[in-house]
Structure 1
Amino acid sequence: MEALRDILRTFRPVGGETLRVAGTGAEPFAAVDPRALRVEAEAGSSAHLVVLHTKADAASLTVALGEGAQLELTHLFAAEAFAEVSVRQSARSRCRVTTVQLTGANASYRIDLDGAEAENSLGGAFLAADGEHCVVTLHTAHNVSDCRSDSAVKGVAGGRAVGEFRGLVYVAPGAQRTDARQQSRNILLSREARITTQPQLEIYADDVKCSHGATVGQMDAEAILYMRQRGLSEADARRLQIEGFVGDVVRRCGVEPLCEAVMEMVSAKMERL
């Protein structure tokens, strides 16, 4: 955790309850334990925002993207926070969300694609141990034609932990040429662990490409056997498999030191799974 905090201290701090983005900037913004934060990105602007929760608290994040604006949002949970996130996107805007729950938490995302050729991509992962409860809720609304969304959420639960994914892709009447994909993949590490997944489609247009899917299963026994035959212990083989499973989500954040710090926290969490 301290390594992650040190990295965030090198980013631009968010002061106050509103972050206005104009132009482009290579250095990310960082907000630690915001209670209420609104992000307003002007047309054609771009930014990267990292939000970290270290307290068991409620939080809200509201994002409004102007035409052609681009936002990279990295959303990290190191405490049992409840967060509601709302993203509204204008024409040709791009938003990429990476959300990682390293403890029991509840994250709710509402994505509204309000302008033609808007795109949203969300990658998520949660790791639940002992009696923790992780929840990810995602509602993606294609309100106009020619928009694209792609979401993939991965869950891992051990001990008596519980994980939940509730996803809905909504395609409004007349929102033709929608391209939407939603996937939920999950691994159970014990007989007592439980993960429920509910991906759904609600479509009111006929010229669309929409798909959704969900899996809940055990670890790959053949892969573990393969690694053990090459000298790894069973515990190390299990840890490497889980790190590989969630690693592609974590590394979406695009800032290498940040990715490495989060992967270290994933490795530490694996000791409890």
Structure 2
Amino acid sequence: METIPDIIRGFRAADGEVLRIAGAEAEPFAAVDPRHLRVEAAAGASARIVVLHTAPDVSSLTLTLAEGAQLELTELFTAEAFAEVSVKQAARSRCRLTTALLSSANASYRIDLDGADAENELGGVFLAAGEEHCVLKLHTAHNVADCRSDSYVKGVAGGQAVGEFCGMVYVAPDAQRTDARQQSRNILLSRTARITTQPQLEIYADDVKCSHGATVGQMDAEAILYMRQRGLSEAQARRLQIEGFVGDVVTRCGIEPLCGAILERAAAKIETL
């Protein structure tokens, strides 16, 4: 299977600090270790963008979606980068975000739904081993009525690693008929690993459908026993369970070769947990 850098080299380079999307772009764009990148999608435009962090740098990324625009961002961390991502969505825009932290990293997402019928979906996963520290922050603001958001973040920590998720869904006073969901699920693989999770709601409208939840626990002992009864070793059973847990998020990425490469990279990381 091709490596992630090999796959990305086949995409169009997002050169410079501003990437303007005017129409429907079939071929994905890619940026490696961008310091500053602004993506502007015109009304009705669509594109897929991949951002790869391979160096311990600080970066900022801004996505601006005009009316009816559609953007899909896949962000992968293989080094201790600090990244801030801002998403601003106009009416009837659609944005899907997939983020994977396979190293110590700090990723912060600020999403503003500013136009009616805007929709945002975020799937995130972090794998922390040894003494790594992964942080994922998310603030989703429903600033107008009739918008939807769905965030699903999973974390796995082993050794003495630390994972953190902090999520906030804000619903403005006039943002009636908001539909917002936020879920955080996490697995600890050792007694010394630690994951903290803080999904929060701040609601000022009364006609809304909002939910949030969080779990931090151990691996599914019954599932491991079931697999061992069918000939797998305990290590194989544990690895398959974690791969399935992580793969549920990674496969949301809409670029098939890239999904496979990320899963392969994640499987290698799982071996160190």
TM range (shorter): over 0.9
Q: Distance in 2 between matches of 1:120 and 1:270?
A: 29
In structure 1, the residue matched to 2:93 is 93
Q: Distance in 2 between matches of 1:105 and 1:6?
A: 23
In structure 1, the residue matched to 2:64 is 64
User: Does the alignment pair 1:108 with 2:108?
Assistant: yes
Q: Distance in 2 between matches of 1:255 and 1:172?
A: 34
In structure 2, the residue matched to 1:180 is 180
Q: Partner of 1:124: helix, strand, or coil? A: strand
Q: Distance in 2 between matches of 1:86 and 1:53?
A: 17
Q: Distance in 1 between matches of 2:149 and 2:108?
A: 17
User: Does the alignment pair 1:167 with 2:167?
Assistant: yes
8 Å Cα contact 2:2/2:261 also seen in 1: no
Amino acid at match of 1:93: S
Which runs of 5 or more structure 2 residues have no equivalent in the other structure?
A: none
Q: Post-superposition shift, 1:255?
A: 1.4
In structure 2, the residue matched to 1:250 is 250
Q: Distance in 1 between matches of 2:270 and 2:154?
A: 15
User: Does the alignment pair 1:144 with 2:144?
Assistant: yes
Q: Partner of 2:252: helix, strand, or coil? A: helix
Q: Post-superposition shift, 1:230?
A: 1.1
In structure 2, the residue matched to 1:231 is 231
Amino acid at match of 2:28: P
Q: After the TM superposition, which segments of 4 or more aligned residues of structure 1 sit over 2 Å from their partners? A: none
Q: Post-superposition shift, 1:234?
A: 1.0
In structure 1, the residue matched to 2:157 is 157
Q: Post-superposition shift, 1:58?
A: 0.5
In structure 2, the residue matched to 1:40 is 40
Which runs of 5 or more structure 1 residues have no equivalent in the other structure?
A: none
Q: Post-superposition shift, 1:149?
A: 0.3
Amino acid at match of 1:187: I
In structure 1, the residue matched to 2:190 is 190
Q: Post-superposition shift, 1:2?
A: 7.2
8 Å Cα contact 2:98/2:123 also seen in 1: yes
Amino acid at match of 2:82: F
Q: Please tell me the root mean square deviation across aligned C-alpha atoms, in Å.
A: 0.9
Q: Distance in 1 between matches of 2:70 and 2:25?
A: 11
Q: Distance in 2 between matches of 1:53 and 1:254?
A: 19
In structure 2, the residue matched to 1:12 is 12
Q: Post-superposition shift, 1:132?
A: 0.3
Q: Partner of 1:115: helix, strand, or coil? A: coil
- TM score, norm. by length of structure 2: 0.99
Q: Calculate percent identity across the aligned residue pairs.
A: 79
Amino acid at match of 1:176: Q
Q: Partner of 1:267: helix, strand, or coil? A: helix
Q: Post-superposition shift, 1:271?
A: 1.1
In structure 2, the residue matched to 1:130 is 130
Q: Post-superposition shift, 1:42?
A: 0.2
In structure 1, the residue matched to 2:27 is 27
